[in-house]
Amino acid sequence: MKKVILLSFGIGTLLFTSCDSKKDQKDSNQNSQEQIAKEDQQLLGGQKDDHGCLASAGENWSELKNTCIQVFNVGKRLNPIEVNKDEAVISAFVVFNDDKSKLELFLPSDGDHHAILDKTEDNVYKDKTYTYNDKESTLYVDGVKKFVSGK
């Protein structure tokens, strides 16, 4: 009788520990899968910049909006006046603040730097280098017409 009780106790202990071991292994596998999923997400989603914007999603940080934006969805597209044959058209974008007292200029060559232009008169925004006429939808760089909407 003692042998049966000891045998039952031994088998029960063995089963209990193996179940607990499988639980630990399952938790370990789940943690590994979560880590792999995070790494895959980072690879697929790309890296975020200092502001948390995803360049791979076409996001840029906007100083005026104080958030990540997709300029092609939020801004007004301005195409270059001069485009060489067989060359890609790279647009500039303007984004207005809520009361339209300022605009943020996203130029293709500026990278992360964006010019902020103040409204100086009706439909005209300026800084030292850039002038944007909202009525004409035209951007001038150092007084020379460089970008226009709808071209």
Alpha helix ranges (H) inside 46-141: 71-74
Please give the mean pLDDT across all residues of the chain. 78
Mean pLDDT of 37-56: 69
Helix (H, G, I), strand (E, B) or coil at 17: helix
> Is pLDDT of 60 > 50?
yes
Confidence at 35, pLDDT banded by 50, 70, 90: low
Q: What is the pTM of this model?
A: 0.66
Query: CA 17 to CA 76: how far, in whole Å?
Result: 66
Give the percent of the chain with pLDDT over 70.
67
Contact (CB, 8 A) for 127 and 116: yes
pLDDT in tens, 102-143: 999 999 876 667 899 999 988 999 999 999 999 999 999 999
